[in-house]
Structure 1
Amino acid sequence: MKMNSEKVRFMNISVLGCGRWGTFIAWYVNKVGHNVTLWGREHSINYIRLKETRKNDYLSLPEDIELSNSLYKAVSSAKIIIISISAQELRSFACQLNSINEIQGKTFILCMKGLEATSGKRLSQVFGEAVGKNIDVAVWVGPGHVQDFVNNIPNCMVIGSENIETTKKIVQELNSDLIRFYYGQDLIGNEIGAATKNVMGIAAGMLDGLNYSSLKGSLMARGTRELSRLLRAMGGNDLTIYGLSHLGDYEATLFSMHSHNRKFGQALVQGERFEKLAEGVSTVRALRELSKQYDVELPITNALYEILFENKNAKDTLEDLFLRPVKFEFQ
């Protein structure tokens, strides 16, 4: 797969967060020709392992990627700063960034998929509230798994912001034959779509665990339909749900063996433990809040909420959702 690794390195980019996705982003941005600093918390298991071996379960870091536990150094040395942490930690982390004077004039890219559970707010809203409205912020969303990318299997993703010039600048710097970026035209839709595909991933895993995998077609059809209604009520373009950030990510979330959210849903109904992060759980809470705020019915979300937080039986609840109602399809 052709990468732009032979071009002159001309920009300093920092990646904040050294989990699975953050470490891959650092690897990728280095491959397309930029100087990269990867930041992690000093005592985190991921950071310690990378510092000692420069490896994780998915890839090896090139020697010219700088590892640092100094947040000030990582932020002050870069023109573009990519954040890849848990969505529920973003507000407190952004407040920490706000204490660093050098954040003005920089471009921040949020490379995570979620909504703030307690408020239902989009991550760009959370970030803007914490660091100030004048910060240039974009999102990086869409389908793809680290396991595929490191094996040179390409995919298409989306960069979106409220400023088209910011979007174009980021795409110009990060585009390659491995990840082909599209310009996001609807920030609300891109963020809601990216976050909610994880909810559908949990539902898909539950169906897999119950041997109802054939119902994932119904899940796709009904899921996009109800979320497009929510998006329209929020002021976004309801067609965005059918783009890369949501429907385009279904293969990587509803069907892939790599998806944490799908695996979480499957493990839950099979009575097994799943130790890794499944952002969709918090997003179910956030969607419940948005459903109330915008007075939009979200049957799939409500069913998952009952299973996850009210201990309803998954099999009975999902059968009620998919198999029993008799109604017009497009009412």
Structure 2
Amino acid sequence: MNISVLGCGRWGTFLAWYANKVGHNVILWGRENSKNYIGLKETRKNDYLSLPEDLELSNSLEKSVSFAEIIIISISAQELRSFANQLKSLNGIQGKTFILCMKGLEATSGKRLSQVFGEEVGKNINLAVWVGPGHVQDFVKHIPNCMVIGSENIEITKKIVQELNSDLIRFYYGQDLIGNELGAATKNVMGIAAGMLDGLNYRSLKGSLMARGTREISRLVRAMGGNDITIYGLSHLGDYEATLFSVHSHNRKFGQAFVEGERFGKLAEGVATVKALRDLSIQYDIELPICNAIYEIIFENKNAKETLEDLFLRPVKFEF
């Protein structure tokens, strides 16, 4: 099968490598002037992997889209709307299957990424999300993991899983798009909180963060029409190891750098997501104490140590 991956950052480049590894013809697209694309063009490798010879690199969006039956998108979540608008103007996108591989919410609207994509490209397209735990650094060492493919059409889900399942990534069928997307996005916010606890030498509070964080987000998922049990699956709780504890997690590293007064130069999607969650909390009248605390620390200059202590050492109440 022909597959194109749009976006040649750390994750997008891995996805192209992976699709090639499981036997597909692959084009990896990047913007001509992007640092990632220029580096791959010159050396055919990045910090994590080398591209196989039969994997094509292209900066032509039109060519990459027309080539493929399955199109995987891996760009910044906040750029998705303008990028989808760009895709809409290309010929022949109907009938193709698009997979969104970013974990975030649109900061300005609080909308899930499948909603954003559908609004721009149109409802009558095959659309799925690919979420769950896993780091490029582990996958390229052949350390396996479990992930989720979810869509509103089970036949599309099954087709994608059939084409991409392997010994390296075992896929599960996602049955709740709302829960899977919200879960994947919000685990990045919990990752920032975990990094802040690391930076404050409060690592032992990460267990409390996991327990309370899942409860908090499950309430929001239910209010938004999803299944609250989804949060305890791979898209959220299952991704905690890779986000709350991993040395590789950008969101955890951002949180730690933030409380240590250091600058973190890479993309941490949780920063934009926590803005969206602030609005969703108000819109759905759901208390999100952890998300709210992270918002106040990042955007309102609240003291991280005091805010997080107050959060976890709140007045006595029933656990459930």
For 2:141 and 2:199, how far apart are their aligned partners in 1? 28
**Cα deviation 1:168-191 (Å, max 9, x = unaligned):** 000000000000000000000000
Amino acid at match of 1:133: K
User: What displacement does 1:293 show?
Assistant: 1.2
Q: CA RMSD in A?
A: 0.5
Following TM superposition, the consecutive aligned residue runs of length 4 or more in structure 1 with deviations greater than 2 angstroms are none
Stretches of structure 2 that go unaligned for 5 or more consecutive residues are none
- Do structure 1's residue 322 and structure 2's residue 290 form an aligned pair? no
Match of 2:6 in 1: 16
Q: Residue 75 of structure 1: which of 62, 65, 72 is its match?
A: 65
Count residues in correspondence. 320
- Do structure 1's residue 267 and structure 2's residue 257 form an aligned pair? yes
**Cα deviation 1:188-218 (Å, max 9, x = unaligned):** 0000000000000000000000000000000
Match of 1:166 in 2: 156
Match of 1:246 in 2: 236
For 2:315 and 2:163, how far apart are their aligned partners in 1? 50
For 2:58 and 2:254, how far apart are their aligned partners in 1? 32
Q: How does 1:15-164 map to 2 (within 5 A)?
A: 15-164=5-154
Question: SS at the partner of 2:272?
Answer: helix
- Do structure 1's residue 182 and structure 2's residue 137 form an aligned pair? no
For 2:42 and 2:180, how far apart are their aligned partners in 1? 37
User: What displacement does 1:30 show?
Assistant: 0.1
Amino acid at match of 1:281: V
**Cα deviation 1:140-175 (Å, max 9, x = unaligned):** 000000000000000000000000000000000000
- Do structure 1's residue 298 and structure 2's residue 292 form an aligned pair? no
User: What displacement does 1:325 show?
Assistant: 2.2
**Cα deviation 1:57-115 (Å, max 9, x = unaligned):** 00000010000000000001100000000000000000000000211110000011000
For 2:147 and 2:222, how far apart are their aligned partners in 1? 22
Amino acid at match of 2:41: K
User: What displacement does 1:299 show?
Assistant: 0.3
What's the TM-score, normalizing by structure 1? Answer: 0.96
User: What displacement does 1:328 show?
Assistant: 1.4
Stretches of structure 1 that go unaligned for 5 or more consecutive residues are 1-10
Question: SS at the partner of 1:160?
Answer: strand
User: What displacement does 1:329 show?
Assistant: 1.3
For 1:299 and 1:214, how far apart are their aligned partners in 2? 19
Question: SS at the partner of 1:15?
Answer: strand
- Do structure 1's residue 235 and structure 2's residue 235 form an aligned pair? no
Match of 1:5 in 2: none
For 2:25 and 2:102, how far apart are their aligned partners in 1? 22
Amino acid at match of 1:305: Y
Q: Residue 268 of structure 2: which of 272, 278, 285 is its match?
A: 278
**Cα deviation 1:238-261 (Å, max 9, x = unaligned):** 000000000000000000000000
**Cα deviation 1:295-330 (Å, max 9, x = unaligned):** 101000110110010000000100000023221111
Question: SS at the partner of 2:98?
Answer: strand
For 1:116 and 1:253, how far apart are their aligned partners in 2? 20
Structure 1 window deviating more from structure 2 (251-260 vs 321-330): it is 321-330
Q: What percentage of residue pairs aligned between the two structures are identical?
A: 88
For 2:261 and 2:229, how far apart are their aligned partners in 1? 37
For 1:300 and 1:50, how far apart are their aligned partners in 2? 39
Amino acid at match of 1:26: A
